[in-house]
Amino acid sequence: MQDHFTQEVDSLKTSLIKMASLVDEQVEQAIRALETGDINLCKGIKAKDLEVDAYDNLIQTQCENILALFHPIATDLRFIISSMMVNNQLERCGDIAVNISKRVKRTSEYNALIKESGILEMALKAKTMLKSVIDSFIHTNTEIANNVLLADEAVDELNRNIFKFLIDKMQAEPALIEPCSHLIVLAKHIERLADHSTNIAENVIFYMDSKIVSHMKKFQRHQYNGEIE
Flag whether 228 is in a domain.
no
CB 152 within 8 A of CB 198: yes
pTM, two decimal places: 0.91
Average pLDDT over residues 170-180: 97
Is residue 222 included in any domain, yes or no? no
Does residue 4 surpass a pLDDT of 90? yes
CATH of the domain at 145: 1.20.58.220
- The pLDDT score that the predictor gives to residue 227 is 55
The verdict on residue 229 lying in a domain is no
**Count of domains for the chain:** 1
Fill in the amino acid letter for 66: I
Beta strands in the chain (DSSP E): none
Mean pLDDT in residue range 137-147: 95
The closest of 160, 148, 122, 164 to 34, measured between CA atoms, is 122
Burial class (CB in 10 A: 0-12, 13-18, 19+), 26: buried
For residue 195, the enclosing domain spans 2-216
CA distance 124 to 25: 14
Has residue 223 got a pLDDT over 60? no
Specify if 227 maps to a domain.
Answer: no
What are the tens digits of pLDDT across the range 105-136?
999 999 999 999 999 999 999 999 999 999 99
| pLDDT the model gives residue 217 | 58
Summary mean pLDDT of the chain: 93
Instruction: Determine, yes or no, domain membership for 66.
Output: yes
116, 180, 23, 216: CA torsion to nearest 10: 80
Asked if residue 126 belongs to a domain, the reply is: yes
